[in-house]
Amino acid sequence: MMARRYGLCLSLAFAALPIVGATAATPAAVRVDFSEHSLKNGLRVQLVEDHTTPVIAVNVSYDVGSRNERPGLTGFAHLFEHMMFKGSKNVGDGEHFYQVFTNGGAMNGTTSSDLTVYYEALPANQLEMALYMEADRMRSLDITQAKLDNQRQAVQEERRLRVDNQPYGRSYERFDEVFYDKFGYKHSTIGSMEDLNAASVQDVAEFFRIYYAPNNAVLTVVGDFKRDEALATIKKYFEDIPRQPAPPPVDLIEPRQTAERRETLTDPLARAPQILIGYKIGVGNDADQAALQVLSSVLQGGDSSRLYQSISKEKELVSGIGGYVEERIGTGGFYITATVRPDQKPEVVEAAIYEEIARITEEPIADWELQKARNATRLGYLQSIRSAQNRANILGSYTILFKDPNLINTRLQKIDAVTRGDVQRVAKKYLIPTGRTVLTTLPAPAAPAAAPGP
């Protein structure tokens, strides 16, 4: 579950951002100034000029993830994370990596249930090369049986490494199957072995035609360039790529859960019991999301959080505990994960977690807890926008996920507006027994000792 979230790194591009004067009582206001453009084929373009350092970041976000897959054809979105590096009409197999790395850059791609992102960071004088290669694979990805077979095997090996042969790997996958009712989020992004084996070249080509079209993508460029020149180059390479009909819509809104869901698994790779708890929440960026983020921070954000202080430090019931709020295009989740100490019982740990949740629903949080959540959110925000690559990633992702790229500038305001009463209200609304799903993983019992020989 944790792997579904984006990691945010640090860099030194922060000085270019405009900062409004601040006092000791009022933190500095920070904005990412971006312009938006739309090409004739429907490609959305976002540009952020930043002349602090001679670097550029290019980010292409596609409005496709495993939510768009159908039963029997899972794993396609993630398979394309691999296929998109296997060459196009004018760029050879693996050449995208070669050109970026030999020019001092970095690049990669990532797939989630909601979106797929490809990105590269390069010296500023290589902007045209990056745009050319991204346009070429959007226009003319080379899909062959040999390349499909090669990347099918790579994805299957990745599944073995991350899921099948990983402690709790199957537990995280099974949790979504129990937690969700709609197929879009119910199956894993990496897909099943059977579906990957069944994928044909025709299936893959059709998936590419539908979802990897310019009118289903957002191109974000951040860095040291002149806006008009960059936009002219983008039009040169992207604007004549044919648009496609809009992809079919996917229903991602879950029906109201009316009873607790619970399962227990046995994992031969696990060395300690683990508890996964999830509560259904609303869609990403709805009116309750900011208060839920504060609630998560107070309950499970770091060593000063209530769950850590009570369950780990004072009662010594767990070797690790934490969680997060996942904001999605459809119904999201509020998650708690606890690894139980070998000398404790999962049911005791679970009861202790519910005691802490009850405390938050019964009385407002302290002023210092609210301020701590605001400070943590602000720190994370400032760290995330220092890197040109992260700013490009956030802008593109917010556009796909929430249709609101300006959330990059308003998210702190939403957190600052949260009150102690708001936190108590959302705890009462969402963290309820009938709305939770619980999956407990137990280590496999030790094999019986072999009988002594004659």
The helix (run of H) or strand (run of E) holding residue 29 is strand 29-30
Tell me: do 315 and 220 sit in the same domain. Answer: no
3-state secondary structure (DSSP) of residue 331: strand
Asked if residues 291 and 418 have their Cβ atoms less than 8 Å apart, the reply is: yes
φ, ψ (nearest 5 deg) of residue 117: -130, 135
Distance of CA 329 to the CA centre of its chain: 11
Q: pLDDT value at position 321?
A: 97
Instruction: Round to whole Å and give the CA distance between 264 and 242.
Output: 50
DSSP letter at 271 equals S
Number of domains in the chain: 2
- Any domain includes 436: yes
DSSP letter at 14 equals G
* Total Cβ atoms within 10 A of residue 186: 17
Tell me: do 235 and 265 sit in the same domain. Answer: no
Tell me: do 296 and 162 sit in the same domain. Answer: no
Q: How far is CA 329 from CA 1, 24, 283, in A?
A: 16, 37, 6
Q: pLDDT value at position 198?
A: 87
- Domain span at residue 340 reads 261-443
- Any domain includes 244: no
Residue 326's nearest CA partner among 277, 284, 373 is: 284
Instruction: Round to whole Å and give the CA distance between 359 and 306.
Output: 10
Tell me: do 270 and 233 sit in the same domain. Answer: no
> Among the residues of 141-200, which ranges form H helices?
145-159, 169-179, 183-186, 193-198
3-state secondary structure (DSSP) of residue 179: helix
Indicate the residue among 204, 239, 274 that finishes a domain. 239
Determine the Cα angle at 104 with ends 101 and 109, to 5°: 45
Indicate the residue among 174, 206, 239 that finishes a domain. 239
- Any domain includes 249: no
- Any domain includes 224: yes
- Any domain includes 21: no
Asked if residues 61 and 394 have their Cβ atoms less than 8 Å apart, the reply is: no
Q: Tell me, what amino acid is at 366?
A: A
Tell me: do 275 and 420 sit in the same domain. Answer: yes
Residue 173's nearest CA partner among 346, 325, 3 is: 3
Tell me: do 266 and 342 sit in the same domain. Answer: yes
Residue 147's nearest CA partner among 208, 105, 204, 103 is: 204
- Any domain includes 8: no
- Any domain includes 404: yes
Q: pLDDT value at position 30?
A: 79
For residue 443 the two structure tokens come to 């280590």
- Any domain includes 204: yes
The tens digit of pLDDT for each residue in 47-64 reads: 999 999 999 999 999 999
**Virtual CA dihedral for 429, 430, 436, 441, nearest 10 degrees?**
-140
Tell me: do 197 and 278 sit in the same domain. Answer: no
Residue 65's nearest CA partner among 328, 390, 335 is: 328
User: Which CATH number goes with the domain that contains 297?
Assistant: 3.30.830.10
With 0-12 CB in 10 A as exposed, 13-18 as middle and 19+ as buried, what is 142? middle
* Total Cβ atoms within 10 A of residue 203: 17
Tell me: do 127 and 91 sit in the same domain. Answer: yes
Q: pLDDT value at position 80?
A: 83
Asked if residues 13 and 389 have their Cβ atoms less than 8 Å apart, the reply is: no
The tens digit of pLDDT for each residue in 259-280 reads: 999 999 999 999 999 999 999 9
DSSP letter at 254 equals P
Tell me: do 81 and 174 sit in the same domain. Answer: yes
Positive/negative CA dihedral, 178, 181, 185, 191: positive
- How many Cα atoms are found within 13 Å in the side-chain-facing hemisphere of 441? 24
Tell me: do 56 and 185 sit in the same domain. Answer: yes
Tell me: do 218 and 283 sit in the same domain. Answer: no
Instruction: Round to whole Å and give the CA distance between 454 and 450.
Output: 12
Tell me: do 143 and 269 sit in the same domain. Answer: no
**Virtual CA dihedral for 356, 360, 361, 364, nearest 10 degrees?**
160
Query: The whole model's pTM is what?
Result: 0.90
**How do the pLDDT tens digits run along the chain, 454 residues long?**
434 433 333 222 222 333 333 333 455 667 899 999 999 999 999 999 999 999 999 999 999 999 999 998 899 899 988 999 999 999 999 999 999 999 999 999 999 999 999 999 999 999 999 999 999 999 999 999 999 999 899 999 999 999 999 999 999 999 999 999 999 999 999 988 899 888 899 988 999 999 999 999 999 999 999 999 999 999 999 999 999 999 999 999 999 999 999 999 999 999 999 999 999 999 999 999 999 999 999 999 999 999 999 999 999 999 999 999 999 999 999 999 999 999 999 999 999 999 999 999 999 999 999 999 999 988 888 898 989 999 999 999 999 999 999 999 999 999 999 999 999 999 999 999 999 999 999 998 866 655 565 5
Determine the Cα angle at 273 with ends 270 and 277, to 5°: 115
